[in-house]
Amino acid sequence: MTTRPQKRSHTDSAEDRVDPSTTDHALRVSEARYRRLFETAQDGILLLNAETAQIEDVNPFLIDLLGYSYDEFLGKKLWEIGAFKDTALSIDVFIELRATRCVRYDNLPLERKDGRRISVEYVSNIYECAGTDVIQCNIRDNTTRHLAEIALSTTTRALKMLSESNVALLSSKSEATLLTEYCRIAVETGGYRMAYVGFAHTEKDQSLQTVALYGHKAGDSAAAPLTWAETTPGDDPIGRALRSGHVQFSEDISTDPVMTPWRAEALARGYHSVIAVPFALPSGAMACLILYSERRDAWSDPERTLLQEMAADLAFGIAALRTAAAKMQYEQNLQISLEQTIQVIADTIEERDAYTAGHQRRVANLCTRIATELGLSVDRLRGLHLAATIHDLGKISIPAEILAKPRRLSAMEFGLIKEHPTIGFEILKKVIFPWPIATIIAQHHERIDGSGYPLGLTGDAILLESKILAVADVVEAMASHRPYRSALGLEAALDEITTHRGLTFDADVVDACLRVFRDRGYRIEA
């Protein structure tokens, strides 16, 4: 006789209907998956007790990143770990987290156990787990990106400083005015804490004469050496720079032993790093441009390069004022300095976004060929090439993950992208160039029928250089690989500009571009 299954009451719980063995297995699988994600994550993860703020777990990535052992983390409060001391992460932030449930820092400076400084993206969230609040801290190492962005920002700032310094070379009527102007520009435009110029005397005492000074506590040079001789007091970066003729710097005055004689005075004035850039006077004697920064680790390679150019221009200015015969040479130096500075910016962009940098280089070369085909002068060719080399400069404000996104952008993301011509213009508009570089960049997405952006300009309201850049930009973009698609090919690119000839693209520019490829055999380099 078959027994019918007994009907269950509608009040039976869900747990009563689940096989306990199945539940245990699911829990074990879930735990194993969680543990694998936790152990293999390529971001640092900390789990904290939400009541006591004590660390209850830490994953291997963070142990490797910061150099502390598992036991050194366990049971400690976050601000008791050396890497997090003297940062924003304190008991006050813990209290704030409990109120807001989330705390975030995009660029939080940490110091590894071995003393190396890194920059991280830090996010803390509180979530409920089995009826108990748990704090999860995610820590992502963004040191490379952060340094690249700092270098780019620093280089842009230095470009403005170099440009103003070159104007000072033309306008200064005396050597004292020129030297003081250089120091003022370094502080007010360059953002350094203090700047001064010292002349090295070759007499027996080898004294260092301060001839110009500007900035914080500028009237007191107690933080500077009085000699460049090879003695203990003269073994600081300034003395070494004057003796060797090479740039010398201290990245952290508070720990650098050679800065001991001036450490207290320097730190009291907010000086945390110093660089000495030597240059030769017309007499053959040495001089030095000295800059103090309130930041540690302030002297990146691009910044040192630009400061060397600035010091070289200063030496030239002194010589010009003393000889009154260097105006033509100055104009050549100015042009070289501007071109080299733009190249430094392009190289710095490449550190942040290789796709943008390679694209700009290829577009610049194609622009030059199209402009040559159209018969533009050598001077206009140079200006167009430099503008094209950094035409996507404005993309520094766009998150790197959007630039390298491997699929189509959303409307909001594309809206951010469309801001880059305006941002590039804003960065460069006050920089004095012999060419309208900022305007060329601002207009390179305009179209002759008014369908472009950001201003919807039409016809002759758009510079010819911008019309050339617009065509070269589209051809290179379609012919080359992008993160979100494979290359469409050169023929597809040429068909595109042919279809829109005289509609959105200037007809003469399109014809010149077609001749460059089909008659001259030009090919876009890799």
Bridge partners, residue 213, by sequence: 196
**Architecture of domain 353-518 in CATH?**
Orthogonal Bundle (1.10)
How much is the pLDDT for 378?
93
d(CA 122, CA 377): 52
Same fold, 146-337 and 353-518: no
Surface-to-core class of residue 247, CB atoms within 10 Å of its CB (0-12 exposed, 13-18 middle, 19+ buried): buried
Residue 86 · residue 117 · CB < 8 Å: no
How much is the pLDDT for 511?
97
How much is the pLDDT for 69?
92
pLDDT exceeds cutoff 60 at 110: yes
pLDDT interval class at 99 (50, 70, 90): confident
What would the pLDDT profile of 401-441 be if each residue is shown by its tens digit? 776 676 777 788 888 888 999 999 998 888 888 899 999 99
Listed range (2-6, 13-17, 307-311) with the worst mean pLDDT: 2-6
Fold annotation for 146-337? Beta-Lactamase (3.30.450)
**What are the structural domain ranges in the chain?**
30-141, 146-337, 353-518
pLDDT exceeds cutoff 90 at 456: yes
How much is the pLDDT for 500?
96
Query: Between 209 and 465, where is the model more confident?
Result: 465
d(CA 430, CA 459): 26
Find all residues with CB under 8 Å of 499, minimum gap 6, and list them: none
Rounded to an integer, the average pLDDT of 42-66 is: 89
Rounded to an integer, the average pLDDT of 110-131 is: 85
To the question of pTM greater than 0.75 for the whole model, the response is no
Find all residues with CB under 8 Å of 36, minimum gap 6, and list them: none
pLDDT interval class at 9 (50, 70, 90): very low
Residue 492 · residue 477 · CB < 8 Å: no
Nearest of 413, 408, 439, 407 to residue 425 by alpha carbon: 439
Rounded to an integer, the average pLDDT of 451-460 is: 94
Mean pLDDT for the chain?
83
Rounded to an integer, the average pLDDT of 237-247 is: 88
pLDDT exceeds cutoff 50 at 10: no
d(CA 524, CA 361): 10
Nearest of 347, 384, 392 to residue 364 by alpha carbon: 384
What would the pLDDT profile of 328-372 be if each residue is shown by its tens digit? 666 667 777 777 777 777 777 766 665 665 788 899 999 999 999
How much is the pLDDT for 287?
92
Amino acid at 470: A
Nearest of 456, 467, 513 to residue 490 by alpha carbon: 513
How much is the pLDDT for 515?
96
How much is the pLDDT for 231?
56
pLDDT exceeds cutoff 80 at 17: no
Query: Between 426 and 7, where is the model more confident?
Result: 426
Q: 30-141 domain in CATH 3.30.450.20? A: yes
pLDDT interval class at 399 (50, 70, 90): confident
